[in-house]
Amino acid sequence: MLTYTIRRLLLAIPTLLFISFIIFLIVKLSPSDPTAGLPLTIPPEVREQIRESLGVNQPVFVQYFRWLQLMVWNEPLHLIEGWTGWNVAPESTTRIISYQTRSPVMDLIMQRMPQTLWVVGISYIVGIIIALPIGIISAYRQYSWFDQLGTFISMLGFSVPTFFTGVLFIVIFAVNLGWFPSVYDTTHVVTDWDSFIVQLKQIIMPVMVLGLFNASQISRFMRASMLDNLNQDYVRTARAKGLTEKVVVLVHVLRNSLIPVVTVIALNVPAVFGGAIITEQVFKVNGIGQLLIIAIQSGDVPTVQTVSFIFAVLIVLFNLIADVLYGVLDPRIRYD
Amino acid sequence: MNSKTLLLGAAAAFMLSPVAAMAERGSSGHLNIIYWQAPSTLNPYLSGGTKEVESASLVLESFARFDDTGTMVPWLAADIPTVENGGVSEDLTQITWTIADGITWSDGTPLTAADAVFTWEYCTHPEGGCAQASYFDGVDSVVAVDDMTVQINFNAPKPFPYTAFVGSESPIIQAAQFAECLGARAPECTDANFGPIGTGPFVVTDFRPNDVIEFEANQNFRYPDRPYFATVTFKGGGDAAAAARSVLETGEFDYAWNLQIDPTILAQMEAQGNGTVVTAFGTSVERLHLNQTNPDPALGDLRSTVEGGPHPFLTDPIIGQAMSMAIDRALLVEVGYGAGGQPTCNVLPAPELYASTANDDCLVQDIAGANALLDEAGYVDTDGDGIREANGMPLSVLYQTSTNAVRQDTQALVKQWWSEIGIDAELRNIDASVFFGGDPASPDTFQKFYADVEMYTNNFAGVDPEAYMANWRCSEIPGPDTQWQGSNIQRFCMEEYDALVDEMATTADLQERGRLAREMNDMIIQSYSIIPLIHRGGVSAHANSLEGIRMSDWDSELWNIMDWRRAE
Amino acid sequence: MTDGPNQPLATSGATPAGAAPVMEMEAYRPPRNQWWDVWDQFKTHKGALLGLGFFIFALLFVYVGPLIWTIDPTFIDIRARNSGPSLAHPMGTDQLGRDTLARMMAGGQTSIAVGLTAMLLSLVLGTLIGVVAGYFRRLDGPLMRLTDLFLAMPLLPLLLVIIMLFRDQLRAAFGPEGGIFILIVFVIGITSWMQTARVVRGDVLALKEREFVLAAKSIGTPSHRMILRHVLPNVMSPIMVSATLGIANAIITESALSFLGLGFPSDFPTWGRLLFDATDWLQQNPERVMWPGLAISLTVLSVNYIGDGLRDALDPRIRGR
């Protein structure tokens, strides 16, 4: 398993290079433009000059290798310098600069990390915590009223888009009841109990909206997988051996049912860091999702490329973790 | 305290409501502003977007600003230079601004003429890619005559010299702060770009690009009693409906900008009684452009170019006229714009001096008349499919615009009216970042105009239409040889028109300029290559507890934020 | 079909033969009878029958409905705008006075068609890649890296590129609506198969080491037969879940695309778009949100129950119990 992991990690490097190049090509080819958001009163010659100063018109390969060099060399140096205070990065090291804000992309990402993790991260954890028991009970008591209700709610949760549930929650809880704020305050800092309550109040609606969506999906996979296993011969054997029902279900069946669930959970962890575009917009959270969508709309190639690349790294990493977990859950799975 | 400060004080008192004189700096507490599109930088020279310019206008100022009536008011300057007072030279090639006394930057150092000179150098640096470079067009040099006097020399007579350092788009930045940021180094100065030192009523305490800005009152501001607000939060994100909701329904915010949402919804939100919707009209006109060249895909690279030949039927003004007559502009306003729009028949609707009245017939919808007009001209439906034909070619158009709920509603309505006069329309909406993007590789930009009809809004900044009217010269037609750069989007070309443009460039007399502009406007409208629809205004909302707002579309909406205050 | 369904599988499973039940069954019955067994089992699942009933009703509503309710969904009756349910407009009208019932029917045609085809495309792609990657060790690496690539791809720029490159050709070949339909189905299909592929592969990896697969392998069963006969039926349930979630996903993605200007023309209603447009009117005309919201949810729910029923019916261990 260790050699497999190391081999996969090494293989990840060319994979990521390839992925980053493909992403770069797509983002470059895409017809959105950094001057699109400017008022039409700004004349075409000035726009052309702006493009020129951004380096938009350089050849694609030059731009890609420039980005790559900055990403794998200058940015890590800068990061080390920031963490340790050592002066490793040469004076005025060039960094990846966003077209839109003309500031380092990494700083933008770091700035948006806290609210993204608060909202999307917590909603994901909440989603998993709700989904697993619902999935297990629904499968164990298949076609009971609990199962029917669970099915109904999770289908509702998945088929009603977040742009609707978000607005619905705002109308009910912010406009009519006035319980929670409809605008997320990113400058709020948690220092004591009271400020924690404020923070809780402002994340509760987006977390509910996203959590419902996540829970729906995971609970469906959990239920289906449990159902498959509950009818297997080994369950009958385990029961025949006289094991308690609790042990049979929660140890034997659950463990064997986790493979698809682990896949789905691992697959969506990178998405946590990618943020949630629509929910962030509805609640004005301004996390990574909003950063990405604004960058896409304004043709901000360095930002889109960098965010997508980090996203790709996380995806490769978490898929590897999922593969390793398969082996842990089911020792018969061998990769070597 | 000398006589000039007294004068300024008097001017300021004139701008205020009488009660305001009692308040003092910071007494109104905290102000929450929401712009649903968030500013990406606070340096308007690096990004010319409205959101950046308006947020920066709290900090950076210029010699003169436009008030809510479009009148120029001296801001950092002692007065407005004119030919009469000797501030503008007789040959119109020089303008001299005098800085008012007692103006300091927020760090306490005095504002001098050298800062203005530096600003000019900063924006005109060839490697800088300055977004406001057009404000310095024709400027030969900017000279500091002494510490308080700035002389701008033009390389040709400039009948309207109030471009550089006038309005929020070309404010003065501090030379000391930006000295190291010239040209290609401009983006490296992140701290300066995100926290410019200004002369304005507020200073930046925290800036998060595309998210939120925190301001506090400038303790060195020239009026000791202002601004009345001690701190300001300037939040971005969400959409227009959410911004309106946060002011009018939940009351979390005090001011929301650019609320282009369905007027029925906005009216019902306003009826909750928390806030008020305000509008201001500038020069924005939502219009249809009728392609005068042939966009047929079969032409390949010659699509929508002059070389590709004229449009099979849209070059005939009769068809354009019928299309215009079929539109009920008042209903478009009612459905999509509410108080934020007025029907118009001119592409140049304001200021009043320039607004023509010759085309006002279009304000009344006349479907029967349009049908009669087409019948008379021989455009009839020959094959019985309900669509008229011109020389065997069905009057069927591709009608494109950017993606936006109001525009899509307008498209649907117009399509229905046109179907009533036997003209068929296929609708297309394109993502705004592509449509307005100008990428020469994309077929969907508004400059390429690979469609028969397209709709969008354009305007001009400030109050002088000379550059705007020059948009429709023959030489401005976009084409492959100019990378599709060019502002004559509908490919209109008339020698008489070009002659009028040249004449205006050398005419100084205001009345005469007005006549020329009106004549040009009528020439375009009567060619029916542009069908104006709506004169659009800015729509914002503020909490009822907020006083002193004088909404303007001629300058930043926040131009007089120093006078804003909380009602007792 | 004379002896049809009266030979429940439990009996065959109980025969002392001991081999895999599937093989056994094939030995003494013509294969198509199996589907009658499936149908019989399906019939006993109340939820599935109800789901099937609603789904047929939805199909009739959107395809036959317009023949009865003949108002043009794009016709604007501006005087009747924003009206609630009435005899003339049973579901009310929108902000331009277009009839909501007619728009629901027209929108349903597109939404159901897009939902089903895009779901099928992504399901076929996902299952194929998942099974092949899980089963053939040598292909696992490359295929999973391909999956990583698609997962990492930023969807919106990709869409803009695809639309820029292919829209005009497709429009010329299939007309404005047909072209966009193919484009959207394709885009949703190729950007949503990855989860199915990963899930299926994970299951196949585990399945491959199970005794019955080893046994089948040891008697020399060829790969394609292994996959079709032994592997595929046993990964049916994650596939079914993916299918249900896939339909909802496709319908909603389509609405997001239309909103971004990358989907159908603006005067072309779909359920997702109707829901999106109505969201702003939540407080003023709540019923406008209700219709498309209900339609999407109930369709997804009915497909889910059909999937449940099918899964049970296809599982030889449950069938006949």
Cβ proximity of C93 and C82 under 8 Å: yes
User: Which residue range is the domain that position C139 belongs to?
Assistant: 107-321
- Give the closest of B210, B252, B432 to A183, CB-based: B252
| Residue B312 domain flag | yes
Q: Which residue has the higher pLDDT, C78 or C136?
A: C136
Question: Cβ of A148 under 8 Å from any chain B Cβ?
Answer: no
Distance (Å, whole) CA A126 – CA B473: 62
pLDDT at A88: 63
| Contact: A220, C301; criterion CB under 8 Å | no
- Give the closest of C76, C261, C277 to B429, CB-based: C261
Mean local confidence (pLDDT), C52-77: 89
* C-alpha distance from A98 to closest chain C C-alpha (Å): 17
Mean pLDDT of chain A: 84
Select the highest-mean-pLDDT range: A27-31, A261-265, B420-424: B420-424
* C-alpha distance from B49 to closest chain A C-alpha (Å): 5
Structure confidence at residue B5 as a pLDDT band (50, 70, 90) = very low
| Residue B456 domain flag | yes
pTM of the entire predicted model: 0.83
Cβ proximity of C247 and C300 under 8 Å: yes
Helix (H, G, I), strand (E, B) or coil at C37: helix
Question: Cβ of A82 under 8 Å from any chain B Cβ?
Answer: no
Q: pLDDT above 90 covers what percent of chain A?
A: 4
- Give the closest of C148, C161, C209 to A15, CB-based: C148
Name the residue in chain C with its Cα closest to that of B410: C96
Question: Cβ of C284 under 8 Å from any chain B Cβ?
Answer: yes
Question: Cβ of C160 under 8 Å from any chain B Cβ?
Answer: yes
| Residue B563 domain flag | no
| Residue B444 domain flag | yes
The angle subtended at Cα B378 by Cα B376 and Cα B383, nearest 5°, is 130
| Contact: A174, B250; criterion CB under 8 Å | yes
Distance (Å, whole) CA A48 – CA A232: 67
pLDDT at B110: 92
Structure confidence at residue C18 as a pLDDT band (50, 70, 90) = very low
Name the residue in chain C with its Cα closest to that of A260: C199
pLDDT at C261: 64
Mean pLDDT of chain C: 80
pLDDT at C7: 35
Question: How many Cβ pairs within 8 Å bridge chains A and B?
Answer: 186
Structure confidence at residue B262 as a pLDDT band (50, 70, 90) = confident
pLDDT at C154: 75
- Give the closest of A158, A161, A326 to C202, CB-based: A326
| Contact residues on chain A for B234, CB-CB shorter than 8 A | none
Residue B17 has pLDDT above 90, yes or no: no
Question: Cβ of A47 under 8 Å from any chain B Cβ?
Answer: yes
**Count of beta carbons in the 10 Å neighbourhood of residue C263:** 28
| Residue B249 domain flag | no
Question: Cβ of C124 under 8 Å from any chain A Cβ?
Answer: no
CA distances from C276 to A210, B25, B568, C103, C291 (A): 18, 45, 41, 14, 12
User: Which residue range is the domain that position B298 belongs to?
Assistant: 283-463+525-537
Q: Quote the number of domains for chain C.
A: 1
pLDDT at B63: 93
Residue A68 has pLDDT above 50, yes or no: yes
Cβ proximity of B292 and B315 under 8 Å: yes
Instruction: Give Cα B258 distance to the centre of its chain.
Output: 12
Instruction: Name residues whose C-beta falls within 8 Å of residue C304's C-beta, 6 or more positions apart in sequence.
Output: A151, A155, C51, C244
Structure confidence at residue B326 as a pLDDT band (50, 70, 90) = very high
**Count of beta carbons in the 10 Å neighbourhood of residue B225:** 18
pLDDT at B359: 86
Residue B117 has pLDDT above 90, yes or no: yes
| Contact residues on chain B for A74, CB-CB shorter than 8 A | none
Question: Cβ of B403 under 8 Å from any chain A Cβ?
Answer: no
Q: Which residue has the higher pLDDT, C126 or C263?
A: C126
pLDDT at B499: 92
Question: Cβ of C253 under 8 Å from any chain A Cβ?
Answer: no
Q: Which residue has the higher pLDDT, C168 or C138?
A: C138
Candidates B259, B296, B303, B335: best to mutate against C (most CBs of C within 10 A) is B335
Q: Quote the number of domains for chain B.
A: 1
Mean local confidence (pLDDT), A326-332: 81
| Contact residues on chain A for C256, CB-CB shorter than 8 A | 161, 163, 278
Q: Which residue has the higher pLDDT, B212 or B126?
A: B212
| Residue C263 domain flag | yes
Mean local confidence (pLDDT), B293-310: 88
Q: What subunits touch chain B, counting only 3 or more CB pairs under 8 A? A: A, C
Name the residue in chain C with its Cα closest to that of A325: C202
ipTM of the complex: 0.82
Distance (Å, whole) CA A18 – CA B133: 40
> What would the pLDDT profile of B369-406 be if each residue is shown by its tens digit?
999 999 999 898 888 888 999 888 899 999 999 888 88
Name the residue in chain C with its Cα closest to that of A217: C245
Question: Cβ of C125 under 8 Å from any chain A Cβ?
Answer: no
pLDDT at B185: 80
**Which letter, b or e, does each residue of A156-178 get, where b requires 16 or more Cβ atoms within 10 Å of its Cβ?**
bbbbbbbbbbbbbbbbebbbeee
> What would the pLDDT profile of B72-106 be if each residue is shown by its tens digit?
899 999 999 988 888 899 888 999 999 998 899 99
Cβ proximity of B437 and A35 under 8 Å: yes
| Residue B447 domain flag | yes
> What would the pLDDT profile of B506-537 be if each residue is shown by its tens digit?
888 888 999 999 999 999 999 999 999 999 98
| Residue C228 domain flag | yes
Cβ proximity of C72 and C60 under 8 Å: no
Mean local confidence (pLDDT), A243-254: 86
pLDDT at A275: 63
pLDDT at B12: 46
The C residues from 176 to 205 touching B (CB cutoff 8 Å) are: 176
Structure confidence at residue B4 as a pLDDT band (50, 70, 90) = very low
> What would the pLDDT profile of A184-220 be if each residue is shown by its tens digit?
888 888 888 998 999 989 899 999 888 888 888 889 8
Candidates C155, C165, C171, C267: best to mutate against B (most CBs of B within 10 A) is C267
Mean pLDDT of chain B: 87
| Contact residues on chain B for A107, CB-CB shorter than 8 A | 190
pLDDT at B6: 41
| Contact: B416, C76; criterion CB under 8 Å | yes
Distance (Å, whole) CA C237 – CA A89: 54
CA distances from C217 to A327, B237, C203, C221, C224 (A): 22, 59, 18, 5, 12
Name the residue in chain C with its Cα closest to that of A307: C154
> What would the pLDDT profile of A94-132 be if each residue is shown by its tens digit?
788 888 888 888 888 888 888 888 888 899 999 999 999
* C-alpha distance from A72 to closest chain C C-alpha (Å): 18
Name the residue in chain A with its Cα closest to that of B478: A44
DSSP letter for C316, please: T
User: Which of B3-17, B154-168, C50-64, C186-200 comes out lowest in average pLDDT?
Assistant: B3-17
| Contact: B237, A290; criterion CB under 8 Å | yes
| Residue B300 domain flag | yes
Query: Directed axis angle between helix C33-43 and helix C46-63, to 10°?
Result: 100
Q: Which residues pair with B74 in a beta bridge?
A: B64
Structure confidence at residue C316 as a pLDDT band (50, 70, 90) = low
Question: Cβ of C280 under 8 Å from any chain B Cβ?
Answer: yes
pLDDT at B454: 94
Question: Cβ of A18 under 8 Å from any chain C Cβ?
Answer: yes
Helices (H), chain A: 2-29, 44-54, 60-69, 75-84, 105-116, 122-140, 145-159, 162-169, 193-230, 233-240, 245-247, 254-274, 277-282, 288-297, 301-329
**Which letter, b or e, does each residue of A74-104 get, where b requires 16 or more Cβ atoms within 10 Å of its Cβ?**
bbeebeeeeeeeeeebeeeeebbbbbbbbbb
Cβ proximity of B138 and B155 under 8 Å: yes
> What would the pLDDT profile of A220-239 be if each residue is shown by its tens digit?
888 888 888 887 888 888 88
* Pairing of β B389-390 and β B393-394: antiparallel
CATH number for B363: 3.10.105.10
Which secondary structure element, helix H or strand E, spans residue C181, and what is its range?
Answer: helix C155-190
pLDDT at B253: 92
Question: What is the set of domains in chain A, with CATH numbers?
Answer: 2-84 (no CATH), 106-329 (1.10.3720.10)
| Residue B317 domain flag | yes
CATH number for C199: 1.10.3720.10
